[in-house]
Amino acid sequence: MKKIFLLLAVALMCYVADVSAQCCCGDNHSAGMKHQPINMILDADFGSSTDDLFALMMLNHYIDEGLVDLKGIVVDREGEKNAGVVDIFNTYYGHPNIPVGLERNGVKNPRVFIPYNGICDLKDAQGQPLFKRTFDASKCMDGWKLYRKILSKAEDKSITIVAIGFATSLAQLFESKADEYSKLSGLDLFEQKVKAVYIQSGRFEETDSTCGYNMRAASKQAAVFYDKLPQSVDLVMSPSYVGESMNYVPEDVIADLSWTDVNPIKAVYTNYTCDTGQRMWDVNCVTHAIFGDRQFNVSPRGTVTFVEKGEESLMLFKQDSYGNAYYQLPFDSYGSMEKLMDIRRHNRMSK
């Protein structure tokens, strides 16, 4: 009998330890717990879809919560105003010194769903810029060069990249040579310093193997990225259907920002038509990178092949337990609502 009680006691202790470990890892908002922030680089095509803006808004709050150390932001859509939008957001939310790099040799004239970079030109009643700025966007370092600068200073396998735009700057990084920041090639530097890439791409359905808009728009650069991506770096993909059920409608966005008159997201939603089918696709890469698999249903591991066909480019997934890639599976209705409400909760928070 004593032996049985002893075994039960040991089992209970193991259970408590396991739950505690899960809580420590899974609940980054628990009081009194210290968490190592994720060293992150955000790579996004600011200037078109608003889900990028919500991803950046949440990252600024996650910085305050001690969850993220945002080492830099790469804007992979050409245009200084697109870097200016990032400057406005980071300055508004109190993190003006995050380095920002800008794509200058990428996709030419990509589709713009919502031309919200116009908030850079908004004025207040006195004719002054509505939003404070911190830097001159014309002086931003090229995106691929910023990657090299940040990675050269990082510890090995310490950087997580969240890629929610085109693969242009990443492809340019892969093809870059030794410079003043590192003697390594871009590909070797990436492999040495990066542990995972969370990317918005693909569909991986039986009847649909398309690669998604971001990859189609820069299909040649995407082919370079997927072909050269080191197998030692995890690739976690968020297919477009995962975010399609997360519909943050404009009236709810405005209602959630009723606490303020001057806010960059509110300015976008009051000055532009944002009811264009936008969904919260990109935010899922951010939250997955920070909170891990426990908040998502995921596929088995495998390998992914990019088939470059321009607008008809494909991404093919092959299951392999030794593979470096896997992808998010769709949420049920409760999961989608839970994720959407978390975005809304952060949007209601003051800076």
User: For position 277, what pLDDT does the model report?
Assistant: 86
**Rounded-to-integer distance, Cα 143 and Cα 188, Å:** 17
Domain boundaries, the chain: 37-347
CATH of domain 37-347: 3.90.245.10
In this prediction, residue 34 carries a pLDDT of: 59
Q: Kindly report, residue by residue over 207-219, the tens digit of the pLDDT.
A: 899 999 999 999 9
Are 181 and 219 within 8 A, CB to CB? no
Q: Cα 98–99–100 angle (5° rounding)?
A: 115
Burial class (CB in 10 A: 0-12, 13-18, 19+), 58: buried
Which residue ranges in the chain fall short of pLDDT 50?
Answer: 1-33
Q: How far is CA 295 from CA 152, 238, 338, in A?
A: 32, 13, 10
